[in-house]
Amino acid sequence: MSGQAGHIIVKNLTKIFARSDLNATLVALENLDMEILPTEFISIVGTSGCGKSTLLRIIAGLETATFGQVFCDGEAIRDTDPRRGLVFQEHSLFPWLSVRDNIAFGLRATGKYRSSVELVDRMISIVGLQEFANSYPHQLSGGMRQRVSLVRALIVSPNVLLLDEPLGALDSFTRMNMQDELLRLWNEHRNTMILITHDVDEAIYLSQRIYIMSPRPGRIACEIPLRISYPRNRSSSEFVNVRNMILRKLDFAKEEQEDYNL
Ligand SMILES: Nc1ncnc2c1ncn2[C@@H]1O[C@H](COP(=O)(O)OP(=O)(O)O)[C@@H](O)[C@H]1O
Ligand SMILES: [Mg+2]
Protein backbone atom coordinates (compact mmCIF):
# COMPACT_ATOMS: atom_id res chain seq x y z
CA MET A 1 0.00 0.00 0.00
CA SER A 2 1.39 3.41 -0.94
CA GLY A 3 1.96 6.09 1.67
CA GLN A 4 -0.76 8.08 -0.01
CA ALA A 5 -3.69 5.85 0.92
CA GLY A 6 -6.70 7.16 2.81
CA HIS A 7 -8.60 9.00 0.09
CA ILE A 8 -12.33 9.29 0.84
CA ILE A 9 -14.96 10.31 -1.69
CA VAL A 10 -18.61 10.75 -0.69
CA LYS A 11 -20.87 11.00 -3.73
CA ASN A 12 -24.44 12.18 -3.58
CA LEU A 13 -25.01 10.37 -0.29
CA THR A 14 -28.54 10.13 1.07
CA LYS A 15 -29.56 8.20 4.17
CA ILE A 16 -33.20 7.61 5.02
CA PHE A 17 -34.23 5.86 8.23
CA ALA A 18 -37.58 4.18 8.67
CA ARG A 19 -38.87 5.45 12.00
CA SER A 20 -41.60 3.27 13.40
CA ASP A 21 -41.77 5.53 16.49
CA LEU A 22 -42.73 8.48 14.24
CA ASN A 23 -44.66 6.31 11.83
CA ALA A 24 -42.62 7.98 9.09
CA THR A 25 -39.28 8.03 7.36
CA LEU A 26 -36.53 10.39 8.39
CA VAL A 27 -34.08 11.84 5.89
CA ALA A 28 -30.91 11.94 7.98
CA LEU A 29 -28.54 12.89 5.13
CA GLU A 30 -29.39 14.38 1.76
CA ASN A 31 -27.16 14.58 -1.32
CA LEU A 32 -23.85 14.89 0.48
CA ASP A 33 -20.67 15.32 -1.51
CA MET A 34 -17.22 15.40 0.09
CA GLU A 35 -13.68 14.59 -0.87
CA ILE A 36 -11.01 14.07 1.76
CA LEU A 37 -7.45 13.68 0.58
CA PRO A 38 -4.87 11.26 1.95
CA THR A 39 -3.22 12.62 5.15
CA GLU A 40 -5.73 15.46 5.40
CA PHE A 41 -7.14 16.42 8.84
CA ILE A 42 -10.73 17.58 8.48
CA SER A 43 -13.47 18.28 11.00
CA ILE A 44 -17.23 18.16 10.70
CA VAL A 45 -19.27 20.49 12.91
CA GLY A 46 -23.02 20.92 13.13
CA THR A 47 -25.85 20.93 15.65
CA SER A 48 -26.82 17.73 17.37
CA GLY A 49 -29.03 15.47 15.24
CA CYS A 50 -27.81 16.83 11.89
CA GLY A 51 -26.44 13.45 10.84
CA LYS A 52 -22.73 13.63 11.70
CA SER A 53 -22.54 10.22 13.37
CA THR A 54 -24.62 8.66 10.62
CA LEU A 55 -22.17 10.01 8.04
CA LEU A 56 -19.18 8.69 9.98
CA ARG A 57 -20.79 5.29 10.48
CA ILE A 58 -21.38 5.02 6.74
CA ILE A 59 -17.72 5.89 6.05
CA ALA A 60 -16.75 3.28 8.65
CA GLY A 61 -18.92 0.69 6.89
CA LEU A 62 -21.18 0.17 9.93
CA GLU A 63 -24.20 1.60 8.16
CA THR A 64 -25.22 1.51 4.49
CA ALA A 65 -26.20 4.40 2.23
CA THR A 66 -29.78 4.62 0.95
CA PHE A 67 -28.62 6.40 -2.21
CA GLY A 68 -25.18 7.41 -3.40
CA GLN A 69 -21.83 5.90 -2.60
CA VAL A 70 -18.74 6.28 -0.49
CA PHE A 71 -15.32 5.26 -1.75
CA CYS A 72 -12.07 4.66 0.06
CA ASP A 73 -9.05 4.60 -2.25
CA GLY A 74 -11.30 3.95 -5.21
CA GLU A 75 -13.19 1.01 -3.67
CA ALA A 76 -16.85 1.30 -2.71
CA ILE A 77 -17.17 0.92 1.08
CA ARG A 78 -19.40 -2.04 1.92
CA ASP A 79 -18.15 -3.22 5.29
CA THR A 80 -15.86 -2.28 8.16
CA ASP A 81 -12.15 -2.55 7.49
CA PRO A 82 -9.11 -2.28 9.78
CA ARG A 83 -7.78 0.33 7.34
CA ARG A 84 -10.49 2.62 8.72
CA GLY A 85 -10.24 2.93 12.51
CA LEU A 86 -13.03 4.33 14.63
CA VAL A 87 -12.95 6.06 18.03
CA PHE A 88 -16.13 7.08 19.87
CA GLN A 89 -16.79 9.46 22.74
CA GLU A 90 -17.67 6.70 25.17
CA HIS A 91 -14.47 4.80 25.63
CA SER A 92 -15.12 1.33 24.38
CA LEU A 93 -12.33 -0.45 26.18
CA PHE A 94 -12.79 -3.98 27.46
CA PRO A 95 -13.06 -3.67 31.23
CA TRP A 96 -11.61 -7.13 31.80
CA LEU A 97 -8.43 -6.44 29.79
CA SER A 98 -5.40 -4.46 30.95
CA VAL A 99 -4.20 -1.37 29.09
CA ARG A 100 -1.61 -3.51 27.31
CA ASP A 101 -4.13 -6.15 26.27
CA ASN A 102 -6.71 -3.58 25.19
CA ILE A 103 -4.13 -1.95 22.93
CA ALA A 104 -2.95 -5.31 21.59
CA PHE A 105 -6.50 -6.44 20.91
CA GLY A 106 -6.68 -4.99 17.40
CA LEU A 107 -3.37 -6.60 16.49
CA ARG A 108 -4.52 -9.98 17.72
CA ALA A 109 -7.45 -9.82 15.34
CA THR A 110 -5.02 -9.23 12.46
CA GLY A 111 -2.75 -12.09 13.63
CA LYS A 112 0.23 -9.78 14.12
CA TYR A 113 0.35 -9.87 17.90
CA ARG A 114 3.27 -12.25 18.38
CA SER A 115 5.67 -10.10 16.42
CA SER A 116 4.45 -6.87 17.89
CA VAL A 117 4.98 -6.84 21.65
CA GLU A 118 7.53 -4.08 21.04
CA LEU A 119 5.04 -2.10 19.02
CA VAL A 120 2.50 -2.31 21.85
CA ASP A 121 5.12 -1.02 24.28
CA ARG A 122 6.01 1.82 21.96
CA MET A 123 2.38 2.87 21.57
CA ILE A 124 1.96 2.79 25.36
CA SER A 125 4.95 5.07 25.78
CA ILE A 126 3.84 7.44 22.99
CA VAL A 127 0.83 8.30 25.14
CA GLY A 128 2.82 8.23 28.38
CA LEU A 129 1.05 5.30 30.02
CA GLN A 130 4.08 3.07 30.77
CA GLU A 131 3.26 2.96 34.48
CA PHE A 132 -0.30 1.95 33.70
CA ALA A 133 0.39 -0.81 31.17
CA ASN A 134 -0.98 -3.45 33.54
CA SER A 135 -3.83 -1.36 34.96
CA TYR A 136 -7.45 -1.94 34.07
CA PRO A 137 -9.76 0.70 32.55
CA HIS A 138 -11.59 1.42 35.83
CA GLN A 139 -8.23 2.34 37.40
CA LEU A 140 -7.62 5.11 34.83
CA SER A 141 -8.88 8.67 34.48
CA GLY A 142 -11.19 9.57 31.59
CA GLY A 143 -8.31 11.19 29.68
CA MET A 144 -6.11 8.11 30.09
CA ARG A 145 -8.88 5.82 28.89
CA GLN A 146 -9.36 7.97 25.82
CA ARG A 147 -5.61 7.86 25.10
CA VAL A 148 -5.80 4.07 25.25
CA SER A 149 -8.76 4.12 22.83
CA LEU A 150 -6.79 6.32 20.43
CA VAL A 151 -3.66 4.21 20.33
CA ARG A 152 -5.71 1.02 20.18
CA ALA A 153 -7.24 2.36 16.96
CA LEU A 154 -3.87 3.61 15.66
CA ILE A 155 -1.78 0.51 16.34
CA VAL A 156 -2.96 -1.28 13.21
CA SER A 157 -1.86 1.79 11.18
CA PRO A 158 -5.25 2.63 9.70
CA ASN A 159 -5.14 4.84 6.62
CA VAL A 160 -8.15 6.70 7.93
CA LEU A 161 -9.05 7.47 11.54
CA LEU A 162 -12.72 8.29 12.15
CA LEU A 163 -13.23 10.21 15.38
CA ASP A 164 -16.77 10.75 16.67
CA GLU A 165 -16.51 13.40 19.40
CA PRO A 166 -13.67 11.43 21.01
CA LEU A 167 -12.88 14.18 23.51
CA GLY A 168 -16.45 15.22 24.25
CA ALA A 169 -16.58 13.76 27.75
CA LEU A 170 -13.31 15.26 28.99
CA ASP A 171 -12.80 18.37 31.10
CA SER A 172 -11.42 21.32 29.16
CA PHE A 173 -7.85 21.04 30.46
CA THR A 174 -7.53 17.32 29.62
CA ARG A 175 -9.24 18.03 26.36
CA MET A 176 -6.64 20.57 25.29
CA ASN A 177 -3.84 18.16 26.17
CA MET A 178 -5.55 15.45 24.15
CA GLN A 179 -5.86 17.79 21.18
CA ASP A 180 -2.06 18.17 21.22
CA GLU A 181 -1.82 14.40 21.55
CA LEU A 182 -3.97 13.99 18.45
CA LEU A 183 -1.76 16.39 16.50
CA ARG A 184 1.34 14.49 17.61
CA LEU A 185 -0.16 11.15 16.57
CA TRP A 186 -1.26 12.60 13.23
CA ASN A 187 2.24 13.99 12.61
CA GLU A 188 3.73 10.62 13.35
CA HIS A 189 1.28 8.45 11.39
CA ARG A 190 0.21 10.87 8.66
CA ASN A 191 -3.13 9.21 8.20
CA THR A 192 -6.35 10.83 7.11
CA MET A 193 -8.23 12.22 10.11
CA ILE A 194 -11.98 12.81 10.07
CA LEU A 195 -13.09 14.39 13.33
CA ILE A 196 -16.63 15.12 14.44
CA THR A 197 -16.82 17.73 17.14
CA HIS A 198 -19.32 20.21 18.53
CA ASP A 199 -16.41 22.31 19.79
CA VAL A 200 -15.64 24.96 17.16
CA ASP A 201 -12.30 25.82 18.80
CA GLU A 202 -11.25 22.19 18.68
CA ALA A 203 -12.07 22.03 14.96
CA ILE A 204 -10.06 25.19 14.26
CA TYR A 205 -7.14 24.12 16.46
CA LEU A 206 -6.78 20.78 14.69
CA SER A 207 -8.01 20.78 11.13
CA GLN A 208 -6.90 21.83 7.70
CA ARG A 209 -10.49 22.09 6.57
CA ILE A 210 -13.89 22.27 8.30
CA TYR A 211 -17.23 21.11 6.95
CA ILE A 212 -20.28 22.77 8.49
CA MET A 213 -23.43 20.66 8.33
CA SER A 214 -26.96 22.03 8.44
CA PRO A 215 -29.73 19.91 9.94
CA ARG A 216 -32.97 18.33 8.74
CA PRO A 217 -32.06 17.00 6.35
CA GLY A 218 -28.32 16.81 7.03
CA ARG A 219 -26.42 18.61 4.32
CA ILE A 220 -23.03 20.22 3.87
CA ALA A 221 -23.76 23.92 4.40
CA CYS A 222 -20.22 25.02 3.59
CA GLU A 223 -16.57 24.14 3.69
CA ILE A 224 -13.87 26.30 5.25
CA PRO A 225 -10.18 25.81 4.45
CA LEU A 226 -7.83 26.86 7.26
CA ARG A 227 -4.42 28.08 6.28
CA ILE A 228 -3.15 28.91 9.78
CA SER A 229 0.21 27.24 10.49
CA TYR A 230 0.59 24.69 13.32
CA PRO A 231 0.81 24.85 16.29
CA ARG A 232 -2.11 27.23 16.39
CA ASN A 233 -2.65 29.95 18.93
CA ARG A 234 -6.24 30.04 20.19
CA SER A 235 -6.05 33.76 20.92
CA SER A 236 -4.43 34.91 17.66
CA SER A 237 -6.51 37.28 15.56
CA GLU A 238 -6.77 34.84 12.64
CA PHE A 239 -8.04 32.13 15.00
CA VAL A 240 -10.60 34.47 16.55
CA ASN A 241 -11.73 35.71 13.13
CA VAL A 242 -12.29 32.19 11.83
CA ARG A 243 -14.15 31.29 15.05
CA ASN A 244 -16.52 34.26 14.61
CA MET A 245 -17.11 33.40 10.98
CA ILE A 246 -17.93 29.75 11.80
CA LEU A 247 -20.26 30.70 14.65
CA ARG A 248 -22.11 33.03 12.27
CA LYS A 249 -22.42 30.27 9.69
CA LEU A 250 -23.68 27.80 12.30
CA ASP A 251 -26.32 30.31 13.36
CA PHE A 252 -27.27 30.81 9.76
CA ALA A 253 -27.59 27.05 9.24
CA LYS A 254 -29.90 26.90 12.28
CA GLU A 255 -32.09 29.75 10.98
CA GLU A 256 -32.42 27.97 7.65
CA GLN A 257 -33.63 24.92 9.54
CA GLU A 258 -36.22 27.02 11.39
CA ASP A 259 -37.51 28.35 8.04
CA TYR A 260 -37.59 24.81 6.74
CA ASN A 261 -39.75 23.68 9.66
CA LEU A 262 -42.39 26.41 9.18
N1 LIG B 1 -30.36 3.76 13.57
C2 LIG B 1 -31.21 4.79 13.45
N3 LIG B 1 -32.53 4.59 13.25
C4 LIG B 1 -33.38 5.61 13.11
N5 LIG B 1 -33.03 6.91 13.17
C6 LIG B 1 -31.72 7.19 13.37
C7 LIG B 1 -30.75 6.15 13.53
N8 LIG B 1 -29.52 6.72 13.73
C9 LIG B 1 -29.74 8.05 13.70
N10 LIG B 1 -31.04 8.34 13.48
C11 LIG B 1 -31.61 9.69 13.34
O12 LIG B 1 -30.89 10.38 12.33
C13 LIG B 1 -30.68 11.74 12.70
C14 LIG B 1 -29.18 12.02 12.71
O15 LIG B 1 -28.60 11.36 13.82
P16 LIG B 1 -27.03 11.38 14.12
O17 LIG B 1 -26.30 10.97 12.89
O18 LIG B 1 -26.80 10.58 15.34
O19 LIG B 1 -26.78 12.94 14.39
P20 LIG B 1 -25.55 13.69 15.10
O21 LIG B 1 -24.44 12.72 15.25
O22 LIG B 1 -25.24 14.85 14.19
O23 LIG B 1 -26.08 14.18 16.43
C24 LIG B 1 -31.35 11.94 14.05
O25 LIG B 1 -32.62 12.50 13.83
C26 LIG B 1 -31.45 10.53 14.60
O27 LIG B 1 -32.55 10.40 15.45
MG1 LIG C 1 -23.40 12.05 16.93
Closest CA to ligand 1's atom 27:
49
State which ligand 1 atom lies nearest to the alpha carbon of 19.
Answer: 4
CA of 4 to the centre of ligand 2 (A): 29
- As beta bridge partners, residue 164 has 196
Give me the pLDDT at residue 257, please: 60
H-helix or E-strand containing 202? Answer: helix 200-206
Query: By C-alpha distance, which of 206, 238, 191, 203 is closest to 37?
Result: 191
Give me the pLDDT at residue 189, please: 86
Q: Is the distance from CB of 162 to CB of 72 less than 8 angstroms? A: no
Q: Is the distance from CB of 254 to CB of 211 less than 8 angstroms? A: no
CA of 6 to the centre of ligand 2 (A): 22
Closest CA to ligand 1's atom 16:
51
Other beta carbons within 10 angstroms of residue 90's beta carbon come to 13
CA of 52 to the centre of ligand 2 (A): 6
Q: Is the distance from CB of 155 to CB of 117 less than 8 angstroms? A: no
> pLDDT tens per residue, the chain (262 residues)?
445 799 999 999 999 999 888 788 999 999 999 999 999 999 999 999 999 999 999 999 999 999 999 999 999 999 999 899 999 876 689 999 999 999 998 787 776 656 678 889 988 988 889 999 999 999 999 889 988 998 888 888 899 999 999 988 888 888 898 899 899 889 988 999 999 998 999 999 999 999 999 998 999 999 999 999 999 999 999 999 999 999 999 887 766 665 554 4
- pTM comes to 0.91
Q: Which CATH superfamily is 8-261 part of? A: P-loop containing nucleotide triphosphate hydrolases (3.40.50.300)
Q: Which residues line ligand 1 (CB under 6 A)?
A: 17, 19, 26, 28, 46, 48-54
Q: Is the distance from CB of 37 to CB of 207 less than 8 angstroms? A: no
CA of 116 to the centre of ligand 2 (A): 34
Q: Which ligand is nearest to the CA of 55?
A: 1
Helix/strand/coil for 8:
strand
Q: Which ligand is nearest to the CA of 51?
A: 1
